[in-house]
A and B are shown apart, each in its own frame.
Chain A
Amino acid sequence: MTSVLRATGYEVHASVRVDPADPVFAGHYPGFPVLPGLFVFDHVDHAVRAETGAQLVALDRAKFVRPVRPGDDLRIEATLTPADDGQMLCVATVFTASGVVAEFRSRYRARRSGGES
């Protein structure tokens, strides 16, 4: 569902079409379909992990500006910069044609080899 269009260094850009047929909309909510805000965050997390292989350790701040409806096209723009203790700070904005829908500040750490969870 997530397709990464461009990833140069610490810039991750992705676009996601919100499929109106996604069963999620039957339950959130009956009669008024909106994508749960934290599912929007999962799209960002998925795109960042796909590009960096890093693991999410914190969502320091999430701001939900307007709802995402079935059929919306999400544009994700994320910038990752090195932070303390080997972590990366991720600042991400998600847009639709209507404008900004959500803003996230999160932190990632490099996934260690050996399968540590």
Chain B
Amino acid sequence: MIGIAEIKRIIPHRYPVLMLDRVAELEPGRALVAHKAITGREPCYAAIGDDAEPAQYAFPAGQLMESWAQAAVLLVRWQTPNPDVRTGFVELLSGIRNASLLGQVFPGDVVEHRVELVRAVDDAAVVTGSSVVDGRLVLRVGSFTMARRGIEVLAAAADGSEG
């Protein structure tokens, strides 16, 4: 089984933001299927009060897509791991096109992320795919673009010195 220990050797995401639990299928350089179990202990539920509506327990769409994106990074970096950004490089998403939110996800659901490499050029890659819960399509991602960037460039960008 490829679990969290193995995933942490490939990508730099760590608790509580590492949002993948295991890899179910892997074809390096081509495709990957990963699972993420959603529970009531997700940090996003910490502040929800006792009088909340059931709908408030829908898993946030951005976090669902972030979890999917981590599966994409895992596929892209499988053969060129980057488990620690302190070595100088960060994986950042640069863009998303045509993502459809087709159903909501709640605690108790196990989300299956399916990612497929479209192309990889230098340090950038484009990935497509979907997410499924019990055979129900909940997310479709047309294209996701990511890039490996130097920390120095990023620090400068955050300070506003890069256009």
Contacts and interface: CB of A to CB of B under 8 A. Distances in A.
Contacts of A37: 92-93
A26 interface: yes
B69 A38 contact: yes
A101 to B, nearest CB: 9
A46 B114 CA distance: 26
A41 B66 CA distance: 10
A39 B62 contact: yes
B158 A67 contact: yes
B163 to A, nearest CB: 8
A32 B151 contact: yes
Nearest to B82: A29
Interface of B is mostly: mixed
Interface stretch (B7-15, B22-30, B32-40, B122-130): B7-15
Given A32-B85, A38-B69, A45 B12 contact: no
B101 A34 contact: no
A98 B158 contact: yes
B17 A30 contact: no
A23 B15 CA distance: 9
Contacts of A82: none
A108 to B, nearest CB: 10
Contacts of B66: 36, 38-39
A115 interface: yes
A27 B93 contact: no
B13 A34 contact: no
Contact of B104 (A32, A61, A117): A117
11 contacts: A23-B43, A29-B14, A29-B85, A38-B65, A42-B60, A42-B61, A56-B61, A59-B61, A61-B97, A64-B92, A99-B160
